[in-house]
Amino acid sequence: MDKKKLIDGLIIKSSEIRKIIIETVSKNGGHIGPNLGVVELTLAIHNIFNSPKDKILFDVGHQSYVHKLLTGREDRFSTLRQRHGIGPFTDRSESIHDHFISGHAGSALSAGFGIATADKENKVIIVIGDASIANGNSLEALNNMDGRCENLIVILNDNEMSIGNNVGALSKFFSRLMGSKLYLELKNEIEGIVRRGKIGNRIADIIGRVEHGVKTMVAPASISESLGFKYIGPIDGHDFEELLSALEKAKNLKGPIFLHVKTHKGKGYTHAEKNPEKFHGISPFNIETGETPKGKLSYSKIFGDKLIKLSEKNNDIYALCCGMVKGTGLSDFFEKFEDRSYDMGIAEGHTVTFAGGLATQGKVPYVAIYSTFLQHAYNQLIHDISIQNLPVNFILDRAGIVGEDGKTHQGIYDIPYLLTIPNINILAPTTKKELEEILEFSSTYKKGPLSIRISKDNAWEYESESFEFGKWKEMKKGNDTLILAVGSMAKEVISIVEELKNKGITPTIVGVSNIRPLDEKYIEQNFKKYKNIITLEEGRIKSGFGSFLLEMTNSMNIYKKISRLGIECNFIPHGKRGELLEEFELRGIPLVNNVERCVNAKY
């Protein structure tokens, strides 16, 4: 095909794709900025390579919408992130064009290396962002590749942002030196001379050597080449002519190849270009204004506001997060206490150990992190925090069902995996007021690490007793059924009290904000009074709070009928949080029926 016609067609297609993405995400929410930034790049990749024979991987996968639209999913794209619809990230179960599941950062290079090692006949193309490539797992993979896999092409999508601004020396080094004015000017001049054919082969070779020498001094192309990669770039990620030429070159060269592409997050949608952090991942919005409906007060916001108040009185408080300043409610704190604010980037293990170091010096670190991402630091929790019993406070945001981000992001495993680790006490506030009280308590607690799990739900206000460490509180007094509702589940069960009464069930409802330590005194004094005891948690049943309670009552020689309610399936799909809570019988009438089954069950 004539190259001009090809490029003209791709330009038209890119405009159509941007329109589809903007319209769909405005209704469903999603990752709009990252996807608008890779429209031309993804179109060019699919034009040069033969998917699914050639295997295309996206690190994190939040920039894979264009890939989905080009691989037979356009007719279902309106269902993006909806229950039973198109998923938010790449998923092998969704399409033969998706070769590895994504969702967390840092997996694509390792997976791609494995795939390229096993399938040497076809190309493996990995698209990775400038924040993800600085992730520890990514660096381990780059180091281990060591020039192997001639069929491997790594494409660095350099938009100088991750979710917020990139952090860390590595990201800054890549960005600053790969775009060095000296290197770019020399590169362009040399390429121009060669294209005009004004020099002989020998002189061209000499100039090439000079270029290589300068590049070694001023650009981390030298890093990629020292790791065994052939470096191409940097090129304009929105210029089809440059993209097609570079990708064709990468395809024909023996690799591994490192292709550096400069893109603009949110390209083609003014609001996203002006506010890339807001439009990285966004709830439904008005296309014309870019505004989202005003949300209700979140637990993340309450945490951030309370931490500011505590820090005004305590200069030892530090706030840490992993690339999620806004998402964890810390934006205002970071502005006010810059010297005590640390965005560590995608580096959960390092963050946990850094917090441990702070704690050894008498500081009061708060690690605000999504429940799903703390999984990356399990070893550090044991080795660096628990063994030394260091007083580090972990704020586990998005604990429980998170909704549309799906199975890679659901925060349902933290109770089970934290219960396996000695010394870490686990708290789960039931209300807005209780979260504030727990934070107040945590700021002076010195006896070991605390985990404070907060859900993605709107903050709930309900009058009840004040928080006491190690003590449960009765929120409703009833008859012969006791429901122990962990954290966010207190709201759900309180809301169905009347429906339960209509079924002849008038339970005592206890708000369990202390998962560990359990309230042994309450257990001893009250369990024998009740015919039915039900635990309710927004997390995995296996090895969760209910299982922990059964172990404890067994050791206390208290043998009662205890029914455990929570999440039984291994991995929760994507969908709206409310829909999923009902589907798993943790909200509304399904929860009423669930409780009724427990009460009527024969043992």
- 161-209, pLDDT tens digit by residue? 544 555 555 555 444 444 444 445 545 555 555 555 544 555 555 555 5
Contact 327, 149 (CB under 8 A): no
Residue ending a domain, among 453, 481, 505, is 453
**Structural domain contains residue 283:** no
Tokens of 340: 């005590």
Helices within 219-370 (DSSP H only): 221-226, 240-252, 270-274, 299-313, 331-336, 348-360
One domain, residues 479 and 380:
no
CA pair distance 231, 257, nearest whole angstrom: 6
One domain, residues 365 and 449:
yes
**Structural domain contains residue 569:** yes
**Structural domain contains residue 521:** yes
Those residues whose C-beta lies under 8 Å from the C-beta of residue 178, and which sit 6 or more positions away, are: 158, 219, 220, 221, 233, 234, 260
One domain, residues 381 and 499:
no
Please give the mean pLDDT across all residues of the chain: 89
One domain, residues 248 and 386:
no
- What is the number of domains present in the chain? 3
One domain, residues 31 and 88:
yes
One domain, residues 342 and 402:
yes
CA pair distance 486, 536, nearest whole angstrom: 6
Residue 576's CATH number? 3.40.50.920
CA pair distance 324, 330, nearest whole angstrom: 8
Task: Determine the pLDDT at residue 432.
Answer: 96
Those residues whose C-beta lies under 8 Å from the C-beta of residue 479, and which sit 6 or more positions away, are: 506, 507, 508
One domain, residues 35 and 150:
yes
Q: How far is the CA of 573 from the CAs of 198, 222, 404, 407, 492, in angstroms?
A: 60, 43, 8, 5, 21
Dump pLDDT digits (tens) for 422-459.
Answer: 999 999 999 999 999 999 999 999 999 999 999 998 99
Q: How far is the CA of 545 from the CAs of 128, 171, 253, 419, in angstroms?
A: 38, 40, 55, 9
Q: In what order do the strands lie in the sheet with 450-453?
A: 341-343, 317-321, 364-370, 393-397, 450-453, 425-427, 514-516
One domain, residues 355 and 241:
no
One domain, residues 414 and 483:
no
Residue 94's CATH number? 3.40.50.970
**Structural domain contains residue 191:** no
One domain, residues 359 and 485:
no
**Closest of 571, 569, 515, 547 to residue 396, by C-alpha:** 515
Tokens of 204: 């061209």
One domain, residues 153 and 250:
yes
CA pair distance 461, 346, nearest whole angstrom: 34
Domain that holds residue 427: 299-453
**Structural domain contains residue 200:** no
Contact 256, 228 (CB under 8 A): yes
**Closest of 224, 41, 49 to residue 151, by C-alpha:** 49
Task: Determine the pLDDT at residue 72.
Answer: 94
Strand, coil or helix: what is 445?
Answer: coil
What stretches in the chain show pLDDT beneath 70? 1, 160-224, 226, 603
Residue ending a domain, among 394, 420, 453, is 453
Dump pLDDT digits (tens) for 568-577.
Answer: 878 888 889 9
Q: According to the 3-state scheme, what is the secondary structure of 542-583?
A: CCCHHHHHHHHHHHCCCCCCEEEEEECCCCCCCCCHHHHHHH
Phi, psi of 540 (to 5 degrees): -65, 135
**Structural domain contains residue 111:** yes
**Structural domain contains residue 465:** no
Task: Determine the pLDDT at residue 167.
Answer: 52
**Structural domain contains residue 189:** no
pTM: 0.86
Report which residue type is found at 266: G
One domain, residues 120 and 238:
yes
